Amino acid sequence: MRFAVIGLAGVGAKHVSVVSNLENAELACVCDVVSNIADDFANKYKTNAYYSVEDMVEKEKLDGVIVATPPKSHYPITKICAEKGIHVFVEKPMASYVSDCQKMIDVCKENRVTLMVGHKKRFVPALVRLKELTEGELGEIKYMIHRYPHPWMSSKDWFWAEDDGGGPILENAVHAADILGFLMGDVDSVYAEGDSFFAENRKPQINCAVYTLRFKSGAIATVGAGMVSVPAFSFEDFFIATDNGVAEVSGHFDSVEKIRYAFRKDPNNAKEEVYSGVDAFVEEIKHFIECSRTGKEPIASGEAGKKAVAICRAVKKSAEIGEPVKVGN
């Protein structure tokens, strides 16, 4: 597949490296509105540089793009590419607002191209194993506590802008929203308390929140998220309970490795499994290539990306009004 990576300064650099090392992918070109960034990558990877997506899609024959720009630009870029018949992998959050997510789903459907969202946690083996266990012998999750304390502070203005990154509760905690949806299904309502602690200069944007979620299945969960931690405490964890037992998944922030679980019928015996050495960025792009080729619905679909944005927007709304909020899609 002939790829372009759009947006290179941050996570786009990782995608460039992934694409240029995958056997069935070719880095056809790179694109960034900042010309010297695009030129530097093009020189390093011996490929073509573009400074506008419109110009790029006119001149290059592409099969897929990876969109790694700030969220406000995800819909316009997706539209340009989809209308040229190019499959779209877009970084999380899928967009700043649910309405843009829906427009992205529609334009990709109309043009029969694959749309996948960069919810890489769906490819983290310890979490995939938890899903497998809860769909099997452990049974469905009824209760979850997820600690997701981001270990550093963002200095990017777009990250904090309400109509772009939406602050840490959208921009970062969308990972938590998505993985809870992956593991527990659709959310009915949320209740949140949030504040600007540790990022007072970004007010009125909130930096952190603690919130509870009621799922349509009746299950309940609580999440603590925001830029509240430091690199020496770069961790996250999930504790879950089911009718048949309990489990804990833990490890490094954004790349948990260990799962422990025990059954109520054998309550003093915990099993432990450790999964390491898998790069979720590589796995998600391999999956995107497979879906683009076969027309299969991606594991991290546009619908899933939209639901995750809807949860984050409901959390922010609840923190603002001090009341529970129903999650609309």
Ligand X SMILES: NC(=O)c1ccc[n+]([C@@H]2O[C@H](COP(=O)([O-])OP(=O)(O)OC[C@H]3O[C@@H](n4cnc5c(N)ncnc54)[C@H](O)[C@@H]3O)[C@@H](O)[C@H]2O)c1
Residues in the site for ligand X, rule: CB under 6 A? 6-12, 31-34, 37, 53, 68-71, 73, 91-92, 118, 120, 156, 171
Which two three-digit tokens encode residue 76? 């316009």
Q: How far is the CB of 119 from ligand X (least distance, A)?
A: 8
Nearest to ligand X of 166, 194 (CB atom): 166
Q: How far is the CB of 184 from ligand X (least distance, A)?
A: 21
The whole-angstrom separation of Cα 263 and Cα 198 is 40
The whole-angstrom separation of Cα 235 and Cα 260 is 16
Which amino acid does the sequence have at 14? Answer: K
Q: How far is the CB of 143 from ligand X (least distance, A)?
A: 27
Which two three-digit tokens encode residue 127? 């979490």
Which residue(s) pair with 220 in the sheet? 143, 214
The whole-angstrom separation of Cα 267 and Cα 244 is 10
Nearest to ligand X of 6, 228 (CB atom): 6
Nearest to ligand X of 41, 215 (CB atom): 41
Per-position b or e across 53-86, b if 16+ CB within 10 A of its CB: beebbeebebbbbbbbbbbbbbbbbbbbbbebeb
Q: How far is the CB of 127 from ligand X (least distance, A)?
A: 14
Which residue(s) pair with 116 in the sheet? 89, 301
Q: How far is the CB of 284 from ligand X (least distance, A)?
A: 9
Give ∠ CA 182-278-105 in degrees, rounded to 5.
Answer: 40
Q: How far is the CB of 255 from ligand X (least distance, A)?
A: 10
Nearest to ligand X of 34, 321 (CB atom): 34
Which amino acid does the sequence have at 105? Answer: I
Are 159 and 72 in contact by the 8 Å Cβ rule? The answer is no
Distance of CA 272 to the CA centre of its chain: 27
Nearest to ligand X of 38, 144 (CB atom): 38
Nearest to ligand X of 8, 325 (CB atom): 8
The whole-angstrom separation of Cα 14 and Cα 199 is 28
Nearest to ligand X of 118, 194 (CB atom): 118
Count CB neighbours of 254 within 10 A: 17
Q: How far is the CB of 137 from ligand X (least distance, A)?
A: 31
The whole-angstrom separation of Cα 325 and Cα 328 is 9
Nearest to ligand X of 102, 134 (CB atom): 102
Q: How far is the CB of 309 from ligand X (least distance, A)?
A: 11
The whole-angstrom separation of Cα 150 and Cα 240 is 21
